[in-house]
Amino acid sequence: MAEQTELYQKQTEQKLQEQEELKKILKDYKGKYQEFEKATKKSKEYYKNFEKELRSQEQRKKELQKRKDQLLNKQNQAKNKSKKKGKGQAAEPVADEFEAL
C-alpha cells in the first residue's frame, strides 16, 4: 500500500509539472495570438486607408482627364475658328493652359 501511495504521489507530481508546462505554453500562445490579432487589425486599417487613398486618386484622375478633354476641346474649337479667320493665335492660350497640366 505504501508503494501505491508513493507511486500515486510521483504521478501527481508529474501531472502537476506537466500542467505547469502546459500553462506556460498556453500563456506563450496567448501572447503570440494577441500579437497576431494586433498585426491583423493594423493591416486591416492600412488596407482601408489604402483603399480610401486609391479611390481618391481615381477620382482625381477622372477630374484631370475631364479637364484635359475640356481643354483639348477648347483648343480644337480655337483652331477651327482660327482656320476660318486665318489667325493661329487664338489656340495658344489654351495650349499653354493644357501644357501646365
Q: How far apart are CA 9 and CA 4, in angstroms?
A: 9
Q: Is residue 18 pLDDT above 70, yes or no?
A: yes
Query: Greater confidence, 86 or 82?
Result: 82
Report the candidate in 100, 98, 78, 101 with the shortest Cα–Cα distance to residue 90. 78
Q: How far apart are CA 100 and CA 95, in angstroms?
A: 9
Q: State residue 58's pLDDT score.
A: 97
What is residue 89's DSSP assignment? G
Q: State residue 80's pLDDT score.
A: 84
What confidence category does residue 94 fall into, taking pLDDT thresholds of 50, 70 and 90?
low
3-state SS, one letter per residue, for 9-61: HHHHHHHHHHHHHHHHHHHHHHHHHHHHHHHHHHHHHHHHHHHHHHHHHHHHH
